[in-house]
Structure 1
């Protein structure tokens, strides 16, 4: 008996219809458990227990007809004598638990956020059992208005402006075939087959790659044993290695675009030439793990073209800017300043939320976190499907089961749940709401980014199925504005925050409007 009713994650609310509880109460004892669980000890009264056995007897008679009686019509004492009282109790137990549980949560006015879990059946007569029920999480915020994070906006330098202008000019470059073959020179664009080897770097090979490496080692051992191999054959083998393992790349032959040794080594090369170039990456290299390391480039020149870039004075017209080049330069600087401020505001917001979550006390049911982990895996499944790949194929390739994949996502899911709960509590305490006029204003802002022909259809969608998403966009902006003010130490105003000025680009992306504000976006 006890083994049959072992605790499990299987939802209890799967009862068949049949038992009807009269308008009576069940005896319920509650106990608060960690992780937002409540233990409910429920006792069914004697009369209801007997009525349940009557219903169970009818079901058994229906399943296993008794000779001389129509299915479901055999008296209870005949059923009990034929199958035994224990069989009758076992038949009634599942429905007793389910119906008793529903009666208990209604009677005690308990809000649940997931399926209950049967913990124990204490006794049969009287019928007493305990279930663990997940209830809404509790969130205790710290003094969140005392959390301050400085806004660190980096100044825009002339070098940053020049680099941005150079990127814009590169966007409009054209490539021209050489009139006649010649060696590569500064300003050219090279199409190469390139293989790189970084000092001390070990490849993490898959099992298939490991087998290939083993085969390659055997081949090299045989080659080493062949004392008659000529220098020419060795060079051919090296060339074949570049051809087989290298990848095609495009390299602009400009001194500020390549490491010095690679740039100098490529100057003067010709189509068809193969070359090995060794360089030491500078200590200020953008990737910290590579600083000061020796890197070997195996290069084969496939093609050489001239890079034709527009003159600086042509950039305003090419970018549809109405003004002089100096005015365009000022425009670029202003854009860089706006981007830098948004970046700084987002970093400030992320740092504030991180501290907020660290200082908040949570009591969260595991089922809530697990549900988010399942949703995250489902999102991954949809992303894979866009490329014609199934989740099962990915899991098989990784060598993990579905349950293991969910477990891997639990830490990230827990972070997401905590951020959402903490921010929801801030919204509640700050009294941030969204009015209909604000939703309408946001819809109009979004519509302005569409042409006249598209607007009617887009407007119907925004006012219909995406209206809640638009409301989330407005709420997100107001929450961002409020958190930024608090983080900057300007938390005296507790009135309902006004939405931040809409970002023309971000405002149209209503499909992602329900993302938590802790994620990076263009809306700061």
Structure 2
């Protein structure tokens, strides 16, 4: 509609006179004459209509034929000696295809530059559906997703709370005991199930009379919440408290609003748990075998020092996340623009990958990563919307402040992940490139730099850190039976190594986080 017309550029950018005197290099650099109409469809969506006059099409044909004629092989002529008209007739199909591709590429690139558009995805333009006419102008249309336009909120002088990162002796003792329990044994017990026990259960999920899925012989640690890929069972430990083998308990969980089946989104599902056995964890003794298993430590004192370093890294991560959440809330308080659902769905898995990279860089073990990622997945579209809005804000700040990354910055990010996983940086980079995660890593790095700039201009009030508790256990399963993506992280027999240094003092990128932080993972030498 006329009211939605953002900009219109008539074909008045006529080339200056004297074009016949331009050499081939200058001619190639000439701007393309085209009429462009850009209609606003949504905050991030534009509908673009372009008309390229016949004169420009003919110019591209002449230029293409001229280049082709330089080395065209035509029977009866030496290479490059055939008449231009003959070359044009003989290779007409190839010439027109190349002309169309060149026109479309140059046209889109030029209009993006002319109108200061910032694309956030590839243009929805299918070249095979665009016809190059025999006469008249070339007219084509496409949809383009662009960075939304918004007023940048005040980001200097934010008042923030900073968590106390001090590691106490009691923290070390509790973390060490938790580690010994993880490396200990699970002993069958005649006692009824209690918090902290491990139970083997069969799970059956129903929505009314409809059987959704059955899971057999899954071993789970009793915790307040049981996290699936698409649902949370709250009060999991209370539901099975006092249960013995052979007993059945029934609970209710609510499915995520993002499950594949629209009829099940946000619906309540009944889950029946049949208890097969109950086991109680027994801590492993600190002996030479354990010291070697967890990291090749010489004695208990060295193990305790490693536990303290691990907690230091974890507390620094928690402090960064606490700052990050506050910055996000303050910046997004004025973000009253929305994002298209299609963009959110495409970006959702990428946000999960970013979050996994962040957790691995901070030394979290794979079981903890699974629990945190499952929680994010439950409301992935809302989390992705928040993360993308924040990303656009931080990107604008980076541009205004002239913040750019160097190759050394990327190398540092790769090296930090490599140190945590006890791998070479070369291998880590190769894996990230193969899984198309280098863009996610780049975004993490640039956002860290911007967030540090925000922190440099902020004021802080120190607050006490809340004690972390194990609040959830996770299954890499879906209640609705949807398969896990190939990018889901494999479980590791041993947790990743803990580095003494923090990956960054600035908060790192990732979807919003509402769960309390998990306990420190086992230290590695």
Q: Tell me the TM-score range normalised by the shorter chain.
A: 0.3 to 0.5
Q: Please, what TM-score do these two structures have when normalized by structure 2?
A: 0.42
Q: Please, what TM-score do these two structures have when normalized by structure 1?
A: 0.42
Q: Which has the higher helix share?
A: 1
